[in-house]
Structure 1
Amino acid sequence: MAEHDLGTRTLGPEGLRVSTLGLGCMGMSQSYGTADEAESLATIARALELGIFFLDTADVYGDGHNEELVGRAIKSRRDEVVLATKFSLSRDASGAMQTNGRPEYVKASCDASLRRLGVETIDLYYQHRVDRTVPIEDTLGAMAELVQAGKVRHLGLSEASSASLERAAAVHPITALQSEWSLWTRDLEDDVVGTARRLGIGIVPFSPLGRGFLTGAITSPDDFGPDDFRKNNPRFQGENFDRNLRLVDEVRRIADEKGCTAGQLALAWVLAQGDDVVPIPGTKRRSYLEENAGAVAVELSEDDLRRLGEIGTPAGGRYPQADYTYGDSPERTTG
């Protein structure tokens, strides 16, 4: 029995029921400083106590370590969890990220994830990034075969373009789109959100706290350890950092008025975007998890939403790659 009733929301045309908030597990294995396995396992256990049962991982997080960690955490509690993982990204010998959407890779990746997680079925299986060299129909065809084989229950895409969503949904129902969406990353609203909603696809925002920036806890680039990937992110560097701190100051001011933390306010804003929206803030600490859970109780008025909508946009791109865009794949050729 959950300690608090955080409620549930429903994703996609097939009606996948998940907790109102999910838990992003990536930082337990990579990107945000050193790992602490005992605290990570305790954090997942605490999430289930709090009624947060939608867990998100991927095969590339810690190069398999994160799936193994999540698998250990849910070993005796599989029936309590909605488990999401992803495929298509891997690191080459130089450490650079590469994308693979070939059908044979889809199936091999799924089998490897099932082994690492120690489960028989993945509840929600995402293509982590669209492969720009493989028609998405070919990738989705292989993913649909995993559903038919009973290895996967529902399908999703991450960081996909409107065109990719359209083409994918024509092959198989798409339950969720996982993309970055927060008070300081709103370009999803330009086009993709409307397409997802027209197709009945749920939206799962990652980094709903602006990669931690919107919590107000980060005040200097010196706050990042040497292995923290944010050091290389344009939004966390030089003049951009200083400009973005001012944006967070405004969030903090409104949060003080509401009697909540800046992070809770930022999460409440994402939750207020619609009942088809299920953010997955990542943390590897129970204290932050409990703070995040408190966001569900924060009620925002129309005036609150207006003020938050006017805080402005951050300086700097989302990723070091200046040409980063939502994923499109090549058209399928015949003959």
Structure 2
Amino acid sequence: MGALVPLTRPGWTEAGRHLLAGLELGVSEVNDAGGIAGRPLELVVRDTAADPQKAVAAVDEFAGLGVAAVAGEYHSVVARAAASRADAVGLPFLCSSAVLDALTEQPTEWVARLAPPQSHGWRVYADFLLGAGHTRIAVATQPSVYWASGTRILRDRLAPHGGTVTELDMSALTPAAVCDALVGHRVSALLLLVGHPEPAVPIVRSVRGDRRLASLLIGAPAGQPEFATWAELLGDDGAGIPFLRYLPEHLGPLGARVGTTLRERLTEAPSFVAFEGYDTIVVLADVLRSHGTDRGRVAASWPRVEVEGTRGQIRFTRTPGISVWQWAGPPIQVVDRDPAAPDRFRILHTG
């Protein structure tokens, strides 16, 4: 099985480490239970470094190596390139953690996804903002199809309620200039649609240090505060920043057991990305046991998947506007780090 994971910069390496930990734990448990039809499951890992071209090259390599399927990837733009190439060469791809709606330009039978579509998760986030009384929103953003798509989703959800979204282009503004713009536009919330740690961390520091913005909500729908380095870099300034997380309020027995083992492997609390990695292997192992390793049969099996994952029962369906087979039931939370204890997460809203 091939695995696409961002392990070096400019990829989000912490997310990659958690994703790989989940994938590797899943493979280890499959092999401890006897493998697939008596044969061990091997994970062939390639670093995408957040580079779409590296992902395309890796998919081509996997096709030549004879892998039965491809798993993984965190960055949406990279996953889109990998999905398009997997569709072109006829290689099953189960995307673990990328949310961009349009993973492929046309509907495909070769690709399935565990993470919720961006249009769903970010609408949940917009509903949280509305419920908290925020209708004048600014977004600090960088050029990217992912950030542009997120901005459009937020604007479409807020507009019917009289909400506005002001875009602040971080390719043209310093963090200090962002603060001046926020005051000038009289917004009540700033969303970080930017990379981590740069420029997200400097923006947070600048806003938190500006007395004019003491009541401003900072939000990060893409999940930057999920990982430990956020708290390490920002300390108390990184708390109270709501973000999207794909975990249930309470893990079941499987999720709790896997969470304990992942914590031991990572030497820190596992993120939702680690659980996504583990669930990816749960699905693919079930498919390979039931349908064999022929690529066409693997791809044809997506609509017949019914397996218990760490975060609920996993089934794939066709979702309107989504070109791949989609798990329609992943849990969605809006959470933040508790200002009273930044290592503890508070659930603010569920979707």
What is the TM-score when the length of structure 1 is the normalising length? 0.32
Of structures 1 and 2, the larger Rg is shown by 2
What is the TM-score when the length of structure 2 is the normalising length? 0.31
Higher relative strand content: 2
